[in-house]
Structure formats: structure tokens, C-alpha cells
Structure 1
Amino acid sequence: MVRLRARPAPPDTSKALSRQRVADILGLVAPPRERVLWHMLYESSARAEEVLMLDVPDLDAANRCAVVTRKGGARDVIAWQTGTARLLPRLLAGRRTGPVFLTDRRAKPSVALVDVDPTTGRARLSYRRAAELFETHTTGLDDGPYTLHQLRHSRLTHAAEDGASTPILMKLSGHTSVRSLAKYARISDEGFVKWQAENDPAARRRPDRR
């Protein structure tokens, strides 16, 4: 009799990560390019494709924001927080032109000039390569590897758990339909337990004065 062995379930790349897991990822030892990309994806909750298409002139570093081209072609503003703000200057190293995220090697002659940094001659980092690097760096973590999309998904879920309004969630996500937010606004087990604890009437009750 032949026994069939159950195949291990592949990692769930559609769910949000816990806050601790996100902190673990953002704390990994990695080159500045990867660290800036991961921080920006989580803090802004923008799509990876949108962030990778950023050019240096699109950035407003002083106000921690940038103009991106959303899915469908609309121009919109994304914003980031302290983690990205601290790392970004190191990545740019004074550059004022070209793509924000560059490859390690010089661009091939076939690459369009709009995707090449005129100072270094390096090309714009592709989504495929960025995803491969993220997978490589997160393979050793529990339930890893993870996907770049999970950083966006996690940020939106965490924002919903923290009480962000529907308009704020729509602005963060770049969606124009409330229905599209449904999968991101599902509260995680971690967030549910936290909410229960914070909203426990007995825990909030002041001790009797004697």
C-alpha cells in the first residue's frame, strides 16, 4: 500500500504580516537600496511598481512625500515616515536626476534613456529583481519568504487596526473604490486581541479609593 505524503503548504503571500514580523524585516542587514525600498513600501503602502518608477525629481524629501503614477495612470501623492527619511539621503548620495532605485551594473545600450541615471550610467531597478532580492533576504524568517506586496498589505491592515478612517485608507492605498479596501481592512488576530484588551471595561475601571 502506497502512502501519500501531504505536501507542505506554500507560504500565504496574500495576508498581512504582524507588526513584529515587519519590524524584523525592516531590521534585516541589507544594502541601503533594499532598506529604503522596504521602508518606503511599508510606510507609504504604495505598490512596488509605483515606487520603483520614482525619479529623484519626484521626491519632496523635506516633506517626506513624492508624486507617483498610480495603477490606471492617475498621478497621486504618497508619503513616508522617519525610517525612510533617515535612510534616503544615504541612498541618493547627492544625486538630483535619474531613477531613485538603480541596478548595481551599468545599463545595457537597449535600455531607454528615461530608465538610466545619466551620472552613473546604471539602469532603473526592475520589479522582478527587487522581488527576487526581497525573497532571498526573507527566506530565513518564519513562514518566509515573503512578497513585496505583503509590505503594502500589512501597512493598510495595521492602519485599519489603528482606527484610520475610510478616506485615509483610500488615500494610502490609491484605491478609488471602497469595495477594493475590503481585503486590506480585515483585522488580524494580533490586532483583534489588542483591540479586545484596550476596550475591556474592567481594565479601564479605576481602582476604588479607600
Structure 2
Amino acid sequence: MASLAGLAFLLPVPAASWLGLCLIALHLHVTASDKAARRAAAILFALTIPLFWARLLFAAFSDIILHSDARLVGWIVGTEAVGNVVPLVDGSGSLFIAPGCSSLANLSLALLSATVFINMRCGRWTPASLAWALTSAAAVVAINVTRISLIGLYPSHYGLIHGPVGATIAGWLTLIVILAIGYHRIGYDAPYDR
């Protein structure tokens, strides 16, 4: 397994390195003799979710994901989304939801955070910690959809909302929400076990 992972790291393809990291996590999980090593393997695997598995998932289901984001934005803006295009509220044009605007990337960060906080405590998901992980995911989607909806409601402020200021505010807010829910609820609700 280590040889396969090593070969994956040497290939000039970034996705192969992440696949190699997955192989190392799988090997560690299967061969680990103690709980701490298995929990470390789970965290190592979770690190690959935002940078490998989420991209793979998006490549396979991008239409469904972007259409879902567009429907939510259309619902808030009060217009009917067609595919991943949402008409602006003032009728002056349309908002095209591009792959970079999808909620999926930040959803994978919420999953990574939940996995880290669970495995720092015990490695076992409880119904309460799962519910809080889903709450974190819902909050991430809400932040992203709200930002895109603000563009649809206030198209004259597109540069501010979509540009560096809006991106920075949304990014920090997303990070704070993910970490706050992870630290105060997900990690707290997981039973403590060393």
C-alpha cells in the first residue's frame, strides 16, 4: 500500500497525490492497533474530501448541485431559476451561478471540521453530533445562498458583494460558523474517549 501511495505522490497529477493520501489513510485505518491511530486515519482521510472527493463529486453531479443552488437563490430573490440561471429581481438581467459559486466546496469543509472534532474526542458519531454536523452544513449553504441572493436583489452592488469584500466577509463568516459549531456542539456532544 505504501508503494502505491508513493507512486501516486510521484505522478505529476495533483489528484493522484490526494488518492495516495487516501491510500495511506486506508492502510493506517486497517492496520492500526489502537483507537488513536484509527482516529488519525479518519482525520487524514477527511483532509482529502475538500480537495479530491468534493471535486470528483462535483464533476459527476455539477448540474444537480448548481441547479439546487439556483433554485434556493431564485426562491429568496422571488424569481424562477432555469437551470443554474436566476433572473435578477429588477429584470435587468440574469445571474449565472458558476461552479466556483457552488455551496459544495464549503460543505466539504464543514464535513472536514465535523470529522476533526469528532475524532479529537472519540471517533464515534452520536445522533446529536450528526445533527450538529448537518446544522453546520445547512449554515454553510445558507451563507453562500444568501450572498448570491444579495447579488440578485441588489445587482448594482455586484462588485462589492461578489468581489474581494463580499468574498472575504462570506469566507470568514463561513469559517467562524463551521468552527463554532464544531467546537461548541459537535465536539461537545461526542463522548470523550482516549
- The bucket for the TM-score relative to the shorter chain is under 0.3
TM-score by length of 2: 0.21
Higher relative contact order (CA 8 A, sep 6+): 1
TM-score, normalised to structure 1, is: 0.20
Bigger helix share: 2
Greater C-alpha Rg: 1
